[in-house]
A and B are shown apart, each in its own frame.
Chain A
């Protein structure tokens, strides 16, 4: 772990201890700091912008309720990520039950409540066609992710999107390193198959 990460961990911990002493506003700093990362994980897990918002809210609320149990063995980011993943998985199970195994509509999923998906502004120098293409590709990739099992989704999100180490992933998912590795490879293979099918030529 770099010094920068250590510093962030220490910095988080000062706010966490303030929360633990009853300062709810200190939690706001942590929310502000991690909401985007957590929202993205939730969004990639659910494939639904609205759902992601709900998951993140619930996850932060759970974290706040359990903040006194946080002992600093893991970083706040690690702890928070596992909470978000658990909430997302629970929500997916519920949705699955409600929709009777119907896949989530990705047209709805990638759009916000006002119908406009909120992506970061695209890199400048791209043509409108390129931008549209990119948007389509991103949509297709997300579709492919969402079609995978939850346990494949999460390892891909953590490893290939969030670019976490095997160690961190093992800590978040509470599984041994070997399992992390093999699961990632299988997930990647599965995704490759889906993408090949959906995009045609990779």
Chain B
């Protein structure tokens, strides 16, 4: 084995990594070769020099500095996370605030709308009493069929009817003189159909309505005079309208309801018949009602939606209005005011309100 070969293995020899055969070869060569022996010594020295290098003391602040940077890093990461999630903290009050704001707005709108709805419904109990009879006269037993199932309620209904009718008398001295059945509310033995339970419902409601209405005083008067007008001759209606107009101009800012009523009525110089339809599906009912209106030749059909109530206004001759009320019965319970029999001849703007049930 030549020196080059031996030199290659010297490091392994030092490490004790040579096989016994290789080891023997190296050990056999070394005593006879000064160069290789020197190389081995140098290698050993090199190894020792490296091993004997003293450990260097790191700067005393090293750990503290590393940890300061680690904490900084963690905070940065935390603040990044905060940036991601912080919006929730600020949004909670914002969202709460907006929820409250929406709540307040809804409440305000409700307060504005509510008296209007009550105002339009207010005259229903008396007029129901009337309508009942009107219906009875016009469509005697047929329409009452469905009422048979409710016969057990008849007792209550009659009582309610009485109350309602009494109110009628008070509220409508003039029309009462004209309407045949009104003077004898007690004589109404069986409620005329579906309207009866509705009336029973509305009778106790009347008190609260009175209270609400009483606040502004005007609606009550408006109703009274309005009904007087319906009951009376067209000239009476004109008077009432004039009266209403006057009231309107006098201004009752606290009572938006009559204000609206006033606005609409004098505009046409005619009372506006109102048909309230209670339908299960107000959207479908609206479409059907629209079709009916078109069939009957309704002019200037306007449709609006107020909350859940679909409102339609159309111009119809009075006999067509009667036909309309008949057809609308197919949609559900209806309330008509004023009595259509009291409606004078001529063309009217009729208002149909479809409320979901």
List A residues at the B interface (Cβ < 8 Å).
24, 27-28, 31-32, 35-36, 39-40, 43-44, 49, 52-53, 56-57, 60-61, 64-65, 112-113, 117-120, 122, 137-138, 141-142, 145, 156, 160-161, 163, 181, 184-185, 188-189, 191-192, 195-196, 202
Report A109 CB to chain B, min CB distance, Å: 11
CA distance A98 to B62 in the complex (A): 26
Asked whether, in the complex, the Cβ of A64 is within 8 Å of the Cβ of B73, the reply is yes
Type the 1/0 row for B1-26, where 1 means its CB is closer than 8 Å to any CB of A: 00000001001100001000000000
Asked whether, in the complex, the Cβ of B51 is within 8 Å of the Cβ of A163, the reply is yes
Asked whether, in the complex, the Cβ of A156 is within 8 Å of the Cβ of B50, the reply is yes
List B residues at the A interface (Cβ < 8 Å).
8, 11-12, 17, 39, 41-43, 45-47, 49-51, 53-59, 62-63, 65-67, 69-71, 73-74
Asked whether, in the complex, the Cβ of A35 is within 8 Å of the Cβ of B58, the reply is yes
Contacting residues, chain B, for A202 (C-beta < 8 A): 41-42, 45-46
CA distance A56 to B62 in the complex (A): 9
CA distance A119 to B53 in the complex (A): 10
Asked whether, in the complex, the Cβ of B63 is within 8 Å of the Cβ of A184, the reply is no
CA distance A162 to B53 in the complex (A): 10
Known contacts A184-B11, A192-B42, A141 near B50 by CB under 8 Å: yes
Asked whether, in the complex, the Cβ of A138 is within 8 Å of the Cβ of B46, the reply is no
Asked whether, in the complex, the Cβ of A39 is within 8 Å of the Cβ of B50, the reply is no
Report A76 CB to chain B, min CB distance, Å: 15
Asked whether, in the complex, the Cβ of A141 is within 8 Å of the Cβ of B53, the reply is yes
Asked whether, in the complex, the Cβ of B47 is within 8 Å of the Cβ of A39, the reply is no
Asked whether, in the complex, the Cβ of A56 is within 8 Å of the Cβ of B57, the reply is no
Main secondary structure, interface of A, reads helix
Report A121 CB to chain B, min CB distance, Å: 9
The tally of CB-CB contacts under 8 A between chains A and B is 112
Closest 7 A/B residue pairs (Cβ): A39-B58, A160-B50, A185-B11, A118-B57, A202-B42, A192-B46, A60-B66
Closest to A122 in B: B54
Report A94 CB to chain B, min CB distance, Å: 19
Closest to B14 in A: A188
Asked whether, in the complex, the Cβ of A118 is within 8 Å of the Cβ of B69, the reply is no
Interface centre among A44, A53, A181, A188 (most CB of B within 10 A): A188
Closest to A33 in B: B63
Closest to B46 in A: A192
Closest to B56 in A: A43
CA distance A64 to B76 in the complex (A): 13
Asked whether, in the complex, the Cβ of B46 is within 8 Å of the Cβ of A64, the reply is no
Known contacts A24-B71, A57-B65, A142 near B53 by CB under 8 Å: yes
Asked whether, in the complex, the Cβ of B67 is within 8 Å of the Cβ of A27, the reply is yes
CA distance A163 to B8 in the complex (A): 21
Closest to B67 in A: A28
Which residue of B17, B53, B69 is within 8 Å of A57 (Cβ)? B69
Asked whether, in the complex, the Cβ of A39 is within 8 Å of the Cβ of B69, the reply is no
Closest to B58 in A: A39
Known contacts A36-B55, A118-B59, A31 near B42 by CB under 8 Å: no
Given contacts A32-B63, A53-B62, A120-B56, 14 further A-B contacts (CB under 8 A): A24-B67, A27-B67, A27-B70, A35-B66, A36-B57, A57-B65, A60-B66, A61-B73, A64-B73, A117-B56, A118-B56, A141-B53, A185-B11, A188-B46
Report A124 CB to chain B, min CB distance, Å: 14
CA distance A192 to B8 in the complex (A): 13
